[in-house]
A = this chain, B = another copy of it.
Amino acid sequence: MSTSYAPPVQRLVSELSKLPGVGNRTAQRLAFYILRASGEDAVALADAIREVKEKIGLCEVCFNLTDEARCRICQDTRRDQGLICVVEEPSDVIPMERTHEYHGVYHVLGGALSPIDGIDPEDLKIAELFARVTSPDGAVREIVLATNPTTTGEATALHIAEELRRRSPELSVTRLASGLPVGSDLEYADEVTLGKALAGRRAV
Contact = CB atoms under 8 A, between A and B. Distances in A.
Interface residues of A, number: 59
Given A4-B97, A19-B33, A21-B26, A9 B43 contact: no
Interface in A10-35: 11-12, 14-16, 18-22, 26, 28-35
Nearest to A106: B4
A176 interface: no
A14 B41 CA distance: 11
Given A19-B30, A91-B29, A48 B4 contact: no
- Interface class of chain A by DSSP: helix
A141 interface: no
Contact of A48 (B3, B15, B41): B15
A181 interface: no
B46 A11 contact: no
A52 B51 CA distance: 19
A44 interface: yes
A6 B94 contact: no
B15 A45 contact: yes
A104 interface: no
Interface stretch (A67-75, A151-159, A160-168): A67-75
A84 interface: no
B9 A34 contact: no
A188 to B, nearest CB: 22
Contacts of A64: 4
A7 interface: yes
Closest 3 CB pairs of A and B: A6-B67, A46-B49, A12-B48
Given A2-B98, A12-B49, 11 more contacts: A6-B72, A9-B56, A9-B67, A12-B51, A12-B52, A20-B30, A21-B29, A31-B52, A34-B49, A34-B53, A35-B65
